[in-house]
Amino acid sequence: MSTRGASAADGAGARSALDGVVTGLPAPLHTLRLLERAARTGFDWADAHDVLAKLVEEVDEVRAEFARSSGAGRLEDEIGDVLFVLVNLTRHAGVDFFAALDHANAKFERRFRQMEQLARADGGDFAELDLAAQERLWQRVKQAERLPSP
């Protein structure tokens, strides 16, 4: 996407509400700026619930592409739509996309390390466990996090 104005072929020099959105930003930030500009024109969902409904629709489209055994190009397109809607969801929820992802990364890392520790405490190697056993450890860690501290 360019920061230049629309060309004559686009409507005799017509300007777009998206003109001036800086390219080269990290993709989620670029998405946010596009959404903010579009929202100024009234092109926006009423609330986060509407965005959640759109997210479900987009996830269903990804499922359909997997069911069709689509190639990477179609999956990239549909997964990109999911990511785009997720940025819009954070905007509507008043949540910083990057902070939310940083929080999720930290939570995943904490839980994964705890799973590895539990496997060692049980006398095993986490990497040698099958996925079902690893999932049981994941659930143990999640459950332990929910328990009130003594």
* Residue-range domain boundaries for the chain: 46-95, 96-145
- What integer pLDDT is reported at residue 84 of this predicted model? 98
Q: Per-residue pLDDT for 105 more than 70?
A: yes
**Which residues, 6 or more positions from 35, have their beta carbon under 8 angstroms from its beta carbon?**
44, 87, 88, 91
pLDDT, average across residues 28-43? 96
Predicted pLDDT at 83: 98
Q: CB of 62 within 8 A of CB of 82?
A: yes
Gap between the Cα atoms of 92 and 3, Å rounded? 25
Quote the pTM value.
0.82
Give the CA angle between residues 23, 27, 28 to the nearest 5°. Answer: 125
Q: How many Å apart are CA 18 and CA 2, to the nearest integer? A: 9
Whether pLDDT at 8 is above 60: no
What's the distance, CA 91 to chain centroid? 12
